[in-house]
Amino acid sequence: MRRIRPRRNPAVPLLLAVWAGAVAVVWLWWSNTPAIADNTSRILNAGRITGLLAGYLMALVVLQMARVPALERRVGSDRVARWHAMSGRYTLCLVLAHLVLTMYGYALQAGLGFSGIVQQTIESVNTLPDMGKAAIGTGLLLFIGLISTGGIRRMIGYDTWYHIHLLTYAAVYLSFWHQLTTGNDFAVQPAATTAWYVLYGSVTALALWYRVLVPVRLNLRHRMRVAEVVEEAPGIVSVLISGRRLHRLGAEAGQFFRWRFLAPGMRFSSHPYSLSAAPRPNMLRVTVKAIGDHSSRLRELEPGTRVWAEGPYGALTASRRSRGKVLLVAGGVGITPMRALFETLPGAAGDLTLLYRANSTQDLALWDELASIADERGARLMYAVNSPDGERPDISAETLRRKLPDIDNHDVFLCGPPGFAQQVYEALRGAGVPARRIHHESFEM
């Protein structure tokens, strides 16, 4: 059994580095800001600082899209996705503030007043270097921000949203150049220009390496194909994937890949599915519930279909563990990473407990496998399903304490739909489980 010890939050040093970068950007602005004499100068300098911060955040937005293993595996894909969404919103607000403040300041200098912002914007785009590119980049950012808002995002398909979202790279590229050619801070500080090139160059290199070159190498090396499709429960199938030297992928139980099945109608769709069994040297398995067009078509896959995978991703692994006893809680198809962890987490008899929530006993996918694992390992296996009249089971702090009196001395791994996960999280906190020992990762993108 591996040594178990409490682990520090890996997000803390990353956040400190991000804030240090922001402080450096503010210092650059402050050191190049002369005495502000009038209202026009105040507006223009506000436009400068919002522009510098927007440029800095743009680089972070791309970094968060690069799928760097240090972020994906240590911090967690869901947390990185939340950071990306938050950074994107802040970036968009700063870009708009920079645009309005700068053009308003220029309009005041030209004696046009607030009503001259549009005229000044058109003139700047037509005369200043690289402003045309910046205008297109800003338009793309606004478009991406619009389709990413909750209401619109839910109206369009995942694949459509995903491919439109990739335009972020083009938007950042087009917006980059005017920062150097029209930014006063870079004109008077050659070291700042070098640092900006290093920042954007490093982020670009990471994105190209981990988004393009690493997946190409992985798939050329392992040559994965569909071996078999097995129906596990109504609307739930397992896809067995064969390949060469799959043990060298470095995948762990609890992680997921982004899968692209090269079958007609599915070639341009890439979706995240967790491994539902411990990785084998020549076989991987994912178990998927039919809840959309892509997942519904998996049952139609033919053996021999080529598979393109990216990963492994995710931080819901044994490395999160800090206690000897572990409770695994799964809701619906969230059983897939829990089943793999149930099989592989080190532990003596009585150390592991799995609670499986489903609508009915017929929906308990992989149940025979789970029962076999529980018997072999001396682990505890429980399920919670709706009553015959449809009443939902009670998963409360009192129920959890009654089932596991020492639950506050457990690590908890949790996976399931957002509503279910939130309910269980609150129940666990009420039962005395510290937040740092509740490990949850959502793959809602």
Domain range 318-440, CATH architecture: 3-Layer(aba) Sandwich (3.40)
CA distance 173 to 167: 10
Going from the C-alpha of 206 to that of each of 76, 169, 210, the distances in angstroms are 18, 13, 6
pLDDT band for position 2 (cuts 50, 70, 90)? very low
The confidence score (pLDDT) of residue 320 equals 87
| Residue 412, pLDDT above cutoff 90 | yes
- Is the backbone of residue 53 left (phi > 0), alpha (psi -120 to 50) or beta? alpha
Share of the chain above pLDDT 70, in %: 97
CA distance 255 to 272: 10
Considering the chain, tell me which residue range(s) the CATH 1.20.120 domain(s) occupy: 11-218
Predicted confidence (pLDDT) per residue in 57-76, tens digit: 999 999 999 999 888 877 87
Give the residue, 371 or 158, on which the prediction is more confident.
371
Q: Nearest Cα to 327, choosing from 306, 310, 341, 307?
A: 341
Contact 416, 392 (CB under 8 A): no
Just give the CATH number of 11-218.
1.20.120
Amino acid identity at 431: A
Contact 342, 25 (CB under 8 A): no
pLDDT band for position 443 (cuts 50, 70, 90)? low
Mean pLDDT of 203-220: 95
The confidence score (pLDDT) of residue 187 equals 82
Q: Which residues of 295-308 are buried (b: 16+ CB within 10 A; e: fewer)?
A: bebbeebeeebebb
The confidence score (pLDDT) of residue 135 equals 94
| Residue 144, pLDDT above cutoff 60 | yes
| Residue 262, pLDDT above cutoff 50 | yes
Cis (ω within 30 of 0) for the bond into 303?
Answer: no
Mean pLDDT of 264-283: 90
Structure tokens at 197: 């090139």
- Beta strands 256-261 and 271-274 are antiparallel
Q: Nearest Cα to 315, choosing from 387, 391, 252, 379?
A: 252
Mean pLDDT of 323-340: 92
Pick the CATH number of 223-313 from 2.40.420.20, 3.40.50.1980, 3.30.2450.30, 2.40.30.10: 2.40.30.10
The confidence score (pLDDT) of residue 415 equals 92
Q: Across the beta sheet with 438-440, what order do the strands follow?
A: 380-384, 352-357, 325-331, 410-415, 438-440
Contact 258, 272 (CB under 8 A): yes
When the pLDDT of each residue in the chain is averaged and rounded to a whole number, the result is 90
Predicted confidence (pLDDT) per residue in 221-236, tens digit: 999 999 999 998 888 9
Structure tokens at 198: 């290093």
Considering the chain, tell me which residue range(s) the CATH 2.40.30.10 domain(s) occupy: 223-313
CA distance 64 to 75: 11
Q: Nearest Cα to 289, choosing from 327, 319, 243, 331?
A: 331
Contact 364, 395 (CB under 8 A): no
Contact 70, 311 (CB under 8 A): no
The confidence score (pLDDT) of residue 99 equals 94
The confidence score (pLDDT) of residue 445 equals 46
Considering the chain, tell me which residue range(s) the CATH 3.40.50.80 domain(s) occupy: 318-440
Mean pLDDT of 95-106: 94
> Which pTM was predicted?
0.84
- Beta strands 380-384 and 410-415 are unpaired
Phi, psi at 7, each rounded to 5°: -115, 145
Amino acid identity at 188: V
Enumerate the H helices of 110-239 as residue ranges.
117-127, 131-147, 150-155, 158-165, 167-182, 184-188, 190-208, 214-222
Radius of gyration of the chain (CA): 26
Predicted confidence (pLDDT) per residue in 114-134, tens digit: 778 899 999 999 999 999 999
CB atoms closer than 10 angstroms to residue 124: 20
| Residue 444, pLDDT above cutoff 60 | no
